[in-house]
């Protein structure tokens, strides 16, 4: 039980150690000179302002939408909620692709309208693309918090003489704080880790700059240093979230069952609300689908193109499926340790798994490149190292659901099985495992879906000539071949959407 | 059950033997089990009784092998299962365990739950044998149901059947009745006891409920701070408590400071006959039912400050009228006309039990 957990935990640390080793290969003076270059500062400012921009825009999109679907009297709330979540299935580089293919001489709008619209790019292009696909994370968090908000708290505040606006500021918003922070953290981690969007928008944030530095191959020390700085920035943000959340209690302290949320009647504001919902969903969901659909009509792909899509799909699955299964197998003992064994070590191993999730993929990819070149050259640019990267990066995704399911299964069941003559491992598989099978399958499926659309790890670590769907979309788009990229992007979006649907359905059945 | 309750003429070899058992959960914690010795003989039902945090559940889990002792040894059916050089895993100990929350496998039917432990039985006869055990607990008709479709009392009996099915050397029950409501508790307790006796099963039951211990046990072991305060038949432990802790944990009692003079003692209630000789300063336990109100003015005057009617009897709390702040609890029949504020006389009918100081120090802090 301990061995796989240790392996999984160490899997996260070893690459980081190699990153440090590689970065400090150079003498300290060189390191100092590189770190203090003006370019490092520019990248830092770019990355931080990109993150800030995305947080602001996604908040503007997510929070009103969450409030409207929980606390207002708009209709089709369930439907709106599902439509608001679906963009999760659309990878950032596809959104960027959709935005980019709107403009330009070969662009969608020029073919449609005959006028050349400039391509969105740089800072605003990146902010738009990243916000459009990350806002559902904030939406889901805020929505859950609003649903869990105890109406009697608001009523108490009203009875204590606060007006409705004061109640929002002094009661509702403080209660939303953990949800906002959690949502912002996830989005910030995405922005820092994102490679596809910033690369396609040609905006020099850290991950794009690291890639350029690495690809130009002149100065890998600087690439390693930048990776470390990006990793440091990520850890600072994770730490800040924990610090901001603090030790305050937000759960209800009283007992008794909670009443349903109070609904606000929009009355004359209703048209504005519907307009807002429509706008957000049209842009976030409609844009990629309309653009992809139109390319299918404007430039229908040939049979050969579809065959290429199918081949790329098969290649993608050939790494994603084993990665998902190995991830789930590694996640189980870690989740078990975290949920069951009260040891300082078990918490640490779980933390390490989450660290693997937080490491920006470009940093992780470079770390694994350095690691394999230095210690296991026969693994360099192999499927093994690619799958290992997926496992390190996605382990936390599988641990989450398995761990919460384990918490709900009383440990007494295994003890009962042992008192009835089962060895520990058999006891687990005969009693606990049947009860957590669903979350294990769901966790595996989630990892599979994320692995199917993964870009930066694949792009940097895959064997030469091994292209997945995501890599195809990325390379075609960066070469300006928008129509050629469309069928690959469509395949990803359709697969992911179907999978999200299946996952929601599977979780719903009990 | 009078046969089992009477003291046995000769003790057969114990089924469970514990010697100098020690368990500590973390280094700076107090001892959960503190150098404890205890034997349980074949066919006997032993209750471990004590307040929460006294170590009784830990002791049960040490016997089962869910916890590893820090020192001492455990033998089950003559075989060492835990000592300095031996460790037998729970699945090899021939124990049955009934959990407080039953821990029935929710994904298996009642029959499959009961058959779960029948591993050395051929598949063909396994389910049949499970049905036989279910018959024993009177649940054959529920064999095909799932645990969540049963009531609490039924789940309880399934848990018992599951533990009994592999014919364990000893069955360990961890507060098995505490999740049942009061009305069901008494009848389930009675049924479980009958089943255990009918099958001649050795059982150790953990409880904090003194009434449960007294009705269920052949012997009671009163625990406090990881140690045994007293072990004996329910009657013995109730009537002849050795310490103030045992006296007040098994029902209400009056603790009186007295001056022992051999077979009698001088007390605020006059000279009382002693259950065993004592000399000098001594603390006495006198049960409320040994006290009564007298009509003819004999006895010691007291003022009634509280009256509790309980249906089958009445319990009075009185203060000695002589100015000492000694409280007395007096139990009478249900139709006593004495009321709050009355000044009446109290007489003693029975012996007072001299108490010894506790072996165990009071717990340093409550463990939850």
Cβ(A134)–Cβ(A190) below 8 Å: yes
pLDDT at A255 over 50: no
**Mutating which of B25, B27, B61, B91 best tests the A interface, going by the most A Cβ atoms within 10 A?**
B91
The burial class, CB within 10 Å (0-12 / 13-18 / 19+), for A392 is buried
Closest CA to A72 of A280, A261, A258: A261
pLDDT at A70 over 70: yes
B contacts of A412 (beta carbons < 8 Å):
99, 101, 103
Residues within 8 A of A (CB atoms), B 35-64 only: 64
pLDDT at residue B201, rounded to an integer: 94
Q: How far is CA B187 from CA B134, B157, B171, B215, in A?
A: 18, 12, 20, 11
pLDDT at residue B295, rounded to an integer: 78
C-alpha–C-alpha distance, residues A381 and A368, integer Å: 10
Closest CA to A95 of A211, A237, A190: A190
Cβ(B318)–Cβ(B302) below 8 Å: yes
Q: Coil, strand, or helix at residue B345?
A: strand
Cβ(B24)–Cβ(B196) below 8 Å: no
Spell out a b/e string for B225-250, using b for 16 or more CB atoms within 10 Å of the CB, else e: bbbbbbbbbbeebbbbbbbbbbbebb
The verdict on a CB contact (< 8 Å) between B96 and A419 is yes
Q: Which of A412, A423, A434 sits opposite B107 (nearest CB)?
A: A434
Mean pLDDT of chain A: 82
B contacts of A418 (beta carbons < 8 Å):
65-66, 89-91
B contacts of A410 (beta carbons < 8 Å):
101, 103
Token pair for A245: 């959340």
Cβ(A492)–Cβ(A452) below 8 Å: yes
Helix-helix angle A2-23:A361-375, to 10 degrees: 90
Cβ(A447)–Cβ(A327) below 8 Å: yes
Q: Which of A215-229, A301-315, B65-79 has the lowest mean pLDDT?
A: A215-229
pLDDT per position as a tens digit, A266-278: 778 888 889 999 9
pLDDT at residue A260, rounded to an integer: 60
**Mutating which of A341, A413, A420 best tests the B interface, going by the most B Cβ atoms within 10 A?**
A420
C-alpha–C-alpha distance, residues A492 and A98, integer Å: 13
User: Stretch A394-407: mean pLDDT, rounded?
Assistant: 84
User: Stretch A371-396: mean pLDDT, rounded?
Assistant: 86
Closest CA to B179 of B156, B213, B159: B156
Question: In angstroms, what separates the C-alpha of B253 from chain A's closest C-alpha?
Answer: 37
Token pair for A507: 């979780």
Cβ(A405)–Cβ(A331) below 8 Å: no
Q: What angle do CA B155, B158, B160 make, to 5 degrees?
A: 115
Q: Coil, strand, or helix at residue B39?
A: strand
The verdict on a CB contact (< 8 Å) between B107 and A418 is no
Which letter does DSSP use for residue A187 in this model? H
pLDDT at residue A31, rounded to an integer: 77
Tracing tokens 């302290």 back to the chain, one arrives at A253
On whether any CB of chain B is under 8 Å from the CB of A386, the answer is no
* Bridge partners of residue B303, in order along the sequence: B319, B343
Q: How far is CA B250 from CA A417, B58, B309, B354, in A?
A: 35, 21, 20, 16
Q: What angle do CA A59, A65, A67 make, to 5 degrees?
A: 100
**Mutating which of B27, B90, B93 best tests the A interface, going by the most A Cβ atoms within 10 A?**
B90
pLDDT at residue A254, rounded to an integer: 44
The verdict on a CB contact (< 8 Å) between A427 and B91 is yes
On whether any CB of chain A is under 8 Å from the CB of B234, the answer is no
Percent of chain B exceeding pLDDT 90 equals 60
Segment holding B291, helix H or strand E: strand B291-294
C-alpha–C-alpha distance, residues B66 and A475, integer Å: 58
Percent of chain A exceeding pLDDT 90 equals 12
pLDDT per position as a tens digit, B300-330: 889 999 999 888 899 999 998 877 788 899 9
C-alpha–C-alpha distance, residues B37 and B270, integer Å: 40
Pairing of β B170-174 and β B203-207: parallel
pLDDT per position as a tens digit, A439-450: 888 888 888 988
Written as one string, the DSSP assignment of A301-351 is PPHHHHHHHHHHHHHHHHHHHHHHHHHHHHHHHHHHHHHH---HHHHHHHH
C-alpha–C-alpha distance, residues B7 and B37, integer Å: 20
On whether any CB of chain A is under 8 Å from the CB of B101, the answer is yes
Q: How many CB pairs under 8 A join A and B?
A: 59
On whether any CB of chain A is under 8 Å from the CB of B96, the answer is yes
pLDDT at A351 over 80: no
On whether any CB of chain B is under 8 Å from the CB of A510, the answer is no
**Mutating which of A341, A413, A419 best tests the B interface, going by the most B Cβ atoms within 10 A?**
A419
C-alpha–C-alpha distance, residues A292 and A275, integer Å: 24
B contacts of A422 (beta carbons < 8 Å):
91
The verdict on a CB contact (< 8 Å) between A421 and B166 is yes
Predicted TM-score (pTM) of the model is 0.77
C-alpha–C-alpha distance, residues B142 and B109, integer Å: 9
The verdict on a CB contact (< 8 Å) between B105 and A412 is no
All residues at 6 or more sequence positions from A258 whose CB lies less than 8 Å from its CB, including other chains: A150, A151, A152, A252
Percent helix, strand, coil in chain B, to 5, is 25, 35, 40
Residues within 8 A of B (CB atoms), A 393-452 only: 410, 412-413, 415-424, 427, 430-431, 434-435
Pairing of β B314-320 and β B254-267: unpaired
The ranges of chain B with pLDDT < 70 are 1-12, 359-368
pLDDT at residue A443, rounded to an integer: 85
All residues at 6 or more sequence positions from A230 whose CB lies less than 8 Å from its CB, including other chains: A47, A192, A206, A207, A210, A360, A362, A363
Nearest CA in chain A to B119: A421
The verdict on a CB contact (< 8 Å) between A415 and B64 is yes
Closest CA to A483 of A315, A293, A308: A293
On whether any CB of chain A is under 8 Å from the CB of B148, the answer is no
**Mutating which of B61, B93, B105, B126 best tests the A interface, going by the most A Cβ atoms within 10 A?**
B105
pLDDT at residue B4, rounded to an integer: 43
A contacts of B65 (beta carbons < 8 Å):
418
Map A189-246 to HEC letters.
HHHHHCCHHHHHCCCCCHHHHHHHHHHHCCCHHHHHHHHHHHHHHHHHHHHHHHHHHC
Percent of chain A exceeding pLDDT 70 equals 89
Q: Which of A416, A423, A431 sits opposite B97 (nearest CB)?
A: A416
Cβ(B269)–Cβ(B256) below 8 Å: yes
User: Rounded to the nearest 10 degrees, how much is the dihedral formed by the CA atoms of A452, A458, A462, A466?
Assistant: 50
pLDDT at residue B9, rounded to an integer: 53
Strands, sheet with B353-355, edge to edge from the N-terminal-most edge strand: B254-267, B270-286, B353-355
* pLDDT-based confidence at residue A161 (cuts at 50, 70, 90): low
Q: Cα B43 to the chain's mean position, in Å? A: 17
Question: In angstroms, what separates the C-alpha of A490 from chain B's closest C-alpha?
Answer: 41
Percent helix, strand, coil in chain A, to 5, is 80, 0, 20
* pLDDT-based confidence at residue A466 (cuts at 50, 70, 90): confident
Question: In angstroms, what separates the C-alpha of A418 from chain B's closest C-alpha?
Answer: 5
Closest CA to B61 of B38, B84, B95: B95
Question: In angstroms, what separates the C-alpha of A472 from chain B's closest C-alpha?
Answer: 46
Q: Which of A415, A421, A431 sits opposite B117 (nearest CB)?
A: A421
On whether any CB of chain A is under 8 Å from the CB of B162, the answer is yes
pLDDT at residue B203, rounded to an integer: 96
Task: Give the residue with greater pLDDT, A507 vs B61.
Answer: B61
**Mutating which of A340, A410, A413, A416 best tests the B interface, going by the most B Cβ atoms within 10 A?**
A416
Nearest CA in chain A to B61: A415
């Amino acid at each position: 039980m301990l061995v796989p957990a240790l392996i999984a935990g160490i899997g996260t640390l070893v690459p980081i150690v190699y990153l440090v080793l590689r970065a400090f290969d150079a003498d300290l003076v060189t390191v100092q000179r590189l770190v203090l270059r003006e370019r490092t500062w520019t990248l830092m400012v770019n990355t931080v302002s990109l993150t800030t921009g995305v947080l602001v825009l996604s908040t503007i999109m997510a929070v009103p939408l969450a409030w409207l679907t929980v606390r207002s009297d708009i209709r089709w709330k369930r439907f709106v909620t599902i439509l608001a979540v679906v963009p999760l299935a659309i990878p950032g580089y596809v959104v960027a692709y959709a935005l980019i293919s709107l403009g330009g001489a070969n662009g969608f709008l020029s073919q449609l309208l005959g006028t050349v619209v400039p391509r969105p790019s740089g800072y605003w292009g990146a902010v738009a693309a990243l916000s459009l696909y990350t806002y559902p994370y904030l939406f889901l968090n805020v929505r859950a918090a609003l649903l869990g908000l105890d109406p009697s708290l608001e009523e108490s505040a009203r009875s204590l003489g606060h007006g409705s606006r004061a109640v929002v500021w002094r009661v509702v918003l403080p209660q939303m704080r953990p949800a906002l922070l959690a949502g912002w953290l996830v989005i910030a981690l995405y922005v820092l880790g994102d490679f596809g969007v910033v690369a396609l928008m040609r905006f020099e944030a850290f991950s794009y700059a690291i890639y350029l530095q690495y690809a130009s191959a002149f100065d890998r020390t600087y690439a390693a240093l930048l990776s470390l700085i990006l990793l440091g920035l990520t850890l600072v943000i994770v730490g800040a979230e924990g610090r901001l959340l603090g030790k305050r209690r937000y759960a209800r302290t009283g007992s008794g069952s909670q009443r349903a949320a109070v609904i606000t009647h929009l009355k004359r504001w209703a048209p504005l609300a519907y307009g807002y919902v429509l706008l957000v969903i049209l842009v976030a969901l409609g844009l990629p689908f309309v653009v992809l659909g139109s390319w299918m009509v404007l430039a229908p792909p040939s049979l050969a193109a579809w065959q290429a899509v199918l081949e790329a799909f098969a290649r993608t699955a050939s790494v994603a499926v084993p990665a998902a299964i190995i991830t789930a197998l590694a996640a189980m003992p870690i989740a078990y340790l975290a949920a069951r064994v009260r040891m300082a070590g078990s918490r640490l191993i779980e933390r390490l798994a989450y660290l693997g999730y937080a490491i920006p993929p470009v940093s992780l990819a470079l770390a694994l490149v350095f690691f394999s070149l230095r210690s296991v050259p026969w693994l360099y640019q192999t499927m093994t190292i690619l799958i290992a990267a997926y496992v390190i990066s996605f382990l936390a995704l599988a641990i989450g659901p398995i761990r919460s399911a384990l918490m709900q299964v009383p440990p007494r069941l295994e003890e009962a099985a042992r008192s009835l003559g089962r060895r520990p491992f058999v006891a687990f598989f005969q009693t606990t495992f049947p009860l957590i099978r669903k979350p294990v399958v769901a966790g595996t499926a989630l990892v599979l879906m994320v692995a199917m659309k993964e870009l930066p790890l694949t792009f940097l670590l895959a064997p030469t000539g091994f292209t997945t769907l995501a890599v195809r979309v990325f390379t075609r788009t960066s070469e300006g071949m928008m129509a050629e990229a469309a069928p690959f992007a469509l395949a990803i979006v359709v697969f992911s959407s179907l999978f999200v649907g299946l996952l929601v359905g599977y979780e719903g059945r009990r | 059950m009078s046969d089992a309750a009477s003291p046995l003429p000769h003790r057969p070899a114990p089924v469970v033997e514990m010697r100098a058992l020690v368990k500590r959960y973390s280094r700076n914690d107090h001892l959960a089990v503190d150098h404890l010795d205890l034997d349980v003989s074949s066919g006997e039902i032993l209750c471990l009784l004590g307040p929460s945090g006294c170590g009784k559940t830990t002791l049960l889990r040490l016997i089962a092998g869910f916890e590893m002792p820090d020192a001492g040894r455990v033998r089950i059916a003559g075989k060492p299962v835990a000592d300095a050089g031996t460790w037998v895993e729970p699945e090899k100990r021939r124990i049955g365990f009934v959990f407080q929350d039953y821990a029935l496998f929710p994904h298996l039917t009642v029959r499959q739950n009961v058959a779960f432990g029948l591993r050395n039985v051929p598949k063909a006869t396994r389910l049949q044998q499970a049905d036989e055990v279910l018959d024993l607990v009177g649940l054959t008709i529920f064999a095909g149901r799932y645990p969540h479709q049963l009531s609490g009392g039924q789940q309880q009996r399934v848990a018992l059947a599951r533990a009994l099915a592999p014919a364990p050397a000893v069955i360990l029950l961890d507060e098995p009745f505490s999740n049942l409501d009061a009305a069901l508790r008494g009848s389930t307790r009675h049924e479980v006891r009958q089943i255990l006796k009918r099958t001649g099963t050795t059982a150790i039951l953990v409880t904090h409920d003194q009434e449960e211990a007294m009705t269920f046990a052949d012997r009671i072991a009163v625990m406090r701070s990881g140690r045994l305060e007293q072990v004996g038949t329910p009657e013995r432990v109730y009537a002849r408590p050795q310490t103030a802790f045992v006296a007040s944990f098994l029902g209400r009692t009056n603790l009186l400071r007295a001056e022992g003079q051999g077979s009698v003692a001088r007390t605020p209630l006059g000279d009382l006959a002693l259950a065993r000789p004592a000399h000098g300063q001594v603390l006495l336990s006198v049960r409320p039912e040994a006290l009564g109100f007298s009509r003819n003015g004999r006895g010691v005057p007291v003022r009634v400050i509280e009256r509790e009617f309980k249906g089958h009897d009445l319990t009075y709390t009185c203060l000695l009228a002589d100015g000492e702040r000694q409280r007395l609890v007096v139990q009478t029949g249900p139709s006593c006309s004495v009321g709050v504020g009355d000044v009446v006389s109290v007489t003693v009918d029975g012996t007072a039990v001299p108490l010894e100081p506790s072996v165990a120090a009071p717990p340093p802090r409550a463990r939850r």
